[in-house]
Structure 1
Amino acid sequence: MLKLDGVTKVYRIGAFGGQTMTAVDEAGFEIKPGEVVSLIGESGSGKSTIGKMVLRLLPPTSGTISIDGRDVRQMGKRDYYRKVQGVFQDPFSSYNPVFKADRVFAMIREVYFKGVPDKEWTAKIEAALDAVRLSPGAVLNKFPHQLSGGQLQRLLIARALLLDIEYLVADEIISMLDASTRIDVLNLLADLKQRGLGVLFITHDLALGNYISERTVVLHKGRIVEYGPTDAVFEQPEHAYTRKLLASVPQLHTKWEDAS
C-alpha cells in the first residue's frame, strides 16, 4: 500500500525566510490497491501540498511516505514514477500548445520505452486510449486546442497507464470540466479502481468525494480532522469542522431563499 506516516511540510516565509508556516501537520493515512481515498478540504487546507509530496514534487519536512513498507526516498525517481503518477486541475497547462497533444506519449517513450518497436508501441498506446474510452482517430495528431478538457484529462490518464502504474494522484481533475464531462471522468476512475489502481482523489467538493471513494480524509488547516470509511464520515461526522462542511452543501430540494 501507499502510506503517509506523520508527514509534515513547513515553509519558510517572509522577506528573509525568518518565519515559518506549517502547511501540513503530521498527516497520516494509507491508500490500498483498488481503492479510492478522497482528500477533502477547503482551499489552503494543504490538500495539494500532500499531493505534491506524494508525487515527490515537494520533499516532506518530516515524516515518511512509503510503498509496501519502503521509504520512497530510497527509490530512484524513474522507478517511483513507474508506480505513481499524477493528473492535475487544469489539463491545458500540461500541454505545450505548439506541439500535438500526443507528444506526451512520445516523452514517456523516450524515457521508459526506447527499445520498443513502433508496432508494439502503437498497440500500447491504443490499449491505453481504449482503457480511458478514447478513440485513437479522435485524439491522435491533434493540437491541444482541438480537443476538449475532458479528452485532454483522459489523455493524461492514458499516459500514466502506459507505465502500468499502481497509484494515481488526481488533484481537482474535474473542477474545470463541464458537468457532462465530469461524470465521464469519475466513471473512468471507477473503472480503473476495479482494475486494481489506487487513487488519491483530491477535491474540495464533498459530493464528489462521497460519490467515488471508499474512505475519506478531511483536512483542516493542514491537520487531518476526520479519517475513515466514507459512509461513516458523511453520516456520522465526529469533528465540528466536518459537520460544518456537510451543513454548507447546497440541497437540490431547497431554494436559496428558504435556506437563508
Structure 2
Amino acid sequence: MSAQPRSDAEPRGGAEPLIEAKSLSRVFGHGANTVRAVDDVSFTLGRQEVVSIVGESGSGKSTLARLVLRLLDPTSGTLHLSGRDVTSLKGRDLQAYWRDVQAVFQDPFSSFNQFFTVRRLLNRSLRLAAAGSAERGETLMAQALEHVGLSADVLDKWPHQLSGGQRQRVMIARALMLQPRILVADEATSMLDASLRANILNVLADLRRDYDMTILFITHDIGQACYVSDRVLVMSQGKVVEQGPTDEVIFSPRHEYTQRLLADVPRLHENILD
C-alpha cells in the first residue's frame, strides 16, 4: 500500500506560516554516488505549533533540520521565515536568523566545549543575544536555567560534572536565552533514559506554553512525536510520505511505512486513550 502525503499540511488556525519550506532538496555526491538526502520536501510550521518529523535513521529528517537551521544550503527549493526568503542568507543576516531559530541537538556532551564551565558556555551565547550589561547577562542565564529546572549552582560546573539530563537542559537554556521564535530539537531525547526523556519532553511543552515558542521536533520515535505534536510529518528515503494532524496520522495511517513505525509501538493507541 502506498499513499500521497495528506494535503492538510497547513499550520493550525489557518494563519500565515512562520516557516514555509517549498520543494526543498539536498543532494550529496556526484554521478553514481549521488544521494538525495532530502527530496522535494514542502511543509509549513505555524506560530506556537509543535510539528514532529519522524523517520528511521537515514530517512533525511536530520538533513532537513539542518536545512531549516541554515547549517546546510539546499540544492534546490526555498525556505521562508514570516514570508521572507531566507534560503541564501549570509553574514550578519544569517546571524540574525540564528537568533530567531535555535537548535538543541542529540548529544548534549559533544555540544559542550569540555574546557568551558556552564557559565562560560552560556556567556558565549550571550554575545549573539546582545544582552548588554554583565548584570543583564546574569539575569538572562538565571531565568533560562530556572525555566528548565536548574539552579544557578550549575553555572560553575564542568560538563563532566552534570548528568545527561542536566546537560541537555543546559543546552535548552542556552537556546532559550536568545529568546528564539523557533526551536529545532534534533533527536534531543534519544541519548537519555526513559525518565529523563519524559522530563525533557515536558520542558519543551512548557516552552511552547510559556514563551509562545514554535518547535520542530525531529525524532525516530513516533511515540514521542505523538506525545508532543500538533502535526506529524513522516519521512522515508528523503521524502515526506505522510503528514497531517497527529491523531489522524496515528489512528488512520495511510502509508505502509507509517503503519510499520506504529507497529513497532504496540501499546501506543492504548496509551493515548488512557
TM-score of the superposition, structure 1-length normalised? 0.91
Question: Aligned equivalents of 1:74 and 1:93: distance in 2?
Answer: 28
Which of 228, 233, 239 is matched with 1:223 structurally? 239
Range with greater deviation from structure 2 (223-232 or 97-106): 97-106
Task: Give unpaired runs (5+ residues) of structure 1.
Answer: 253-260
- Trace 1:216-255 onto structure 2 (pairs within 5 A): 216-251=232-267
3-state DSSP class of the match of 2:157? coil
Aligned to 2:103: 86
Question: Aligned equivalents of 2:42 and 2:26: distance in 1?
Answer: 13
- Trace 1:50-69 onto structure 2 (pairs within 5 A): 50-69=64-83
Task: Give unpaired runs (5+ residues) of structure 2.
Answer: 1-17, 269-274
Say if 2:202 is the partner of 1:187.
Answer: yes
Aligned to 1:142: 157
Say if 2:46 is the partner of 1:32.
Answer: yes
Say if 2:139 is the partner of 1:123.
Answer: yes
CA-to-partner distance for each residue in 1:171-197, whole Å, 9 max, x for gaps? Answer: 111111111111111001001111311
Q: Provide the aligned C-alpha RMSD in A.
A: 1.7
Which of 219, 223, 226 is matched with 1:210 structurally? 226
3-state DSSP class of the match of 1:159? helix
CA-to-partner distance for each residue in 1:194-234, whole Å, 9 max, x for gaps? Answer: 13111110001011001110000000111111110000000
Report the number of matched residues.
248
Question: Aligned equivalents of 2:136 and 2:192: distance in 1?
Answer: 33
Aligned to 2:271: none
CA-to-partner distance for each residue in 1:116-152, whole Å, 9 max, x for gaps? Answer: 1222211111111122121112x11100000011111
- Trace 1:89-128 onto structure 2 (pairs within 5 A): 89-113=106-130, 116-128=132-144
Structure 1 residue 18: Cα displacement: 6.0
Question: Aligned equivalents of 1:134 and 1:224: distance in 2?
Answer: 37
Say if 2:65 is the partner of 1:48.
Answer: no
Structure 1 residue 84: Cα displacement: 0.2
3-state DSSP class of the match of 2:189? coil
3-state DSSP class of the match of 1:177? coil
3-state DSSP class of the match of 2:156? coil
The percentage of counterpart residues that share the same residue type is: 48
Q: Match of 2:184, as an amino acid?
A: V
Structure 1 residue 99: Cα displacement: 1.8
CA-to-partner distance for each residue in 1:28-81, whole Å, 9 max, x for gaps? Answer: 111112111010001100010001111111100001111111111354111101
Range with greater deviation from structure 2 (167-176 or 239-248): 239-248
3-state DSSP class of the match of 1:90? coil
Question: Aligned equivalents of 2:196 and 2:125: distance in 1?
Answer: 26
Distance 1:57 1:74, change over 3 A: closer
